[in-house]
Amino acid sequence: MSAPLSEKSRRVPAVSGNPSNGGLVGAKLRALRKRRGMTLQAVACAAGVSVGHLSQLERDITSPAVKTLHDISVALGVSISWFFEEADDESVESKYVVRQNERRRIHFADGIDDYQLNSRSVAQLGLLYCVFEPGASSGREAYTHVGEEAGYVMSGTLELWIDEEPTTLRPGDSFSFPSECRHRYANPGTEPAVVIWAMTPPSY
């Protein structure tokens, strides 16, 4: 569990995305599984998670870890970016512009919130505003996927492991690496870390 945030720290993620979905993925996960004609057991086995945990995710009793949602996405034939809620507005602006109060969000376990910055008009680029609470991490197990990614640390501290080599990044630091490298990340600090994170394709 992450330590409680101070009043000052709570102000950092005040860039909230779409409040209508609260960053939850359960309903979309269940609908996609049924559309694929797959049972809970089949998806759980393919993703390497328990049936009970998958059932809890579908009912939004718990939020997924980053790697867990990645593995479930692979099992269902989509990328994590698929789970960002689609906007209903079909205007030209909504196609190319993302207003701050309209950012789509996914909430992960262990205190990570990803807000999608790229508009719906691009399919080969993902751009995220990531908020890591103190102690938040992608998990102890590193993972890989196709593509490349890069980021810029706006505030706080980000610890990044690439092929099990750790490095600590602070405000103003940036990074980039092939996504085929085994990677994981965490916020070891006492304040939220905010990172602008890009990847192509958006298949993390």
Q: Summarize pLDDT for 4-61 with one digit per residue, the tens.
A: 333 333 334 444 444 334 678 888 899 889 988 999 999 999 999 999 999 999 999 9
Confidence band (pLDDT; 50, 70, 90) for 121? Answer: confident
Residue 120: predicted pLDDT: 80
Start-to-end CA span in the chain (Å): 24
For residue 21, give the nearest of 152, 93, 116 by alpha carbon: 116
Give the three-class secondary structure for 167.
strand
Contacts of 65 (CB under 8 A, 6+ apart): 108, 109, 110, 138, 139
pLDDT at 190 over 90: yes
pLDDT at 18: 42
Helix-helix angle 51-58:26-35, to 10 degrees? 120
Check residue 16 and give its pLDDT: 41
Q: What is the pLDDT of residues 146-180, one digit of tens each?
A: 999 999 999 999 999 999 999 999 999 999 999 99
Q: According to the model, what pLDDT value does residue 14 have?
A: 41
Q: What is the pLDDT of residue 114?
A: 94
Per-residue pLDDT at 59: 92
Mean pLDDT for the chain overall: 85
Q: Is residue 194 pLDDT above 90, yes or no?
A: yes
Alpha-helical (H) ranges within 6-109 are 7-10, 26-35, 40-47, 51-58, 66-76, 92-96
What domains does the chain contain, in order, with CATH numbers?
26-83 (1.10.260.40), 90-200 (2.60.120.10)
pTM of the full structure: 0.69
What is residue 65's predicted lDDT score, i.e. its pLDDT? 87
Please check the confidence at residue 116 and state whether its pLDDT lies above 80.
Answer: yes
pLDDT at 83: 80
**Sheet of strand 183-186, all strands in order from the earlier edge strand to the far edge:** 165-169, 158-162, 183-186
Question: In this predicted model, what pLDDT tens digit does every residue of 74-106 receive, in sequence order?
Answer: 999 888 878 875 655 556 676 888 888 878 888
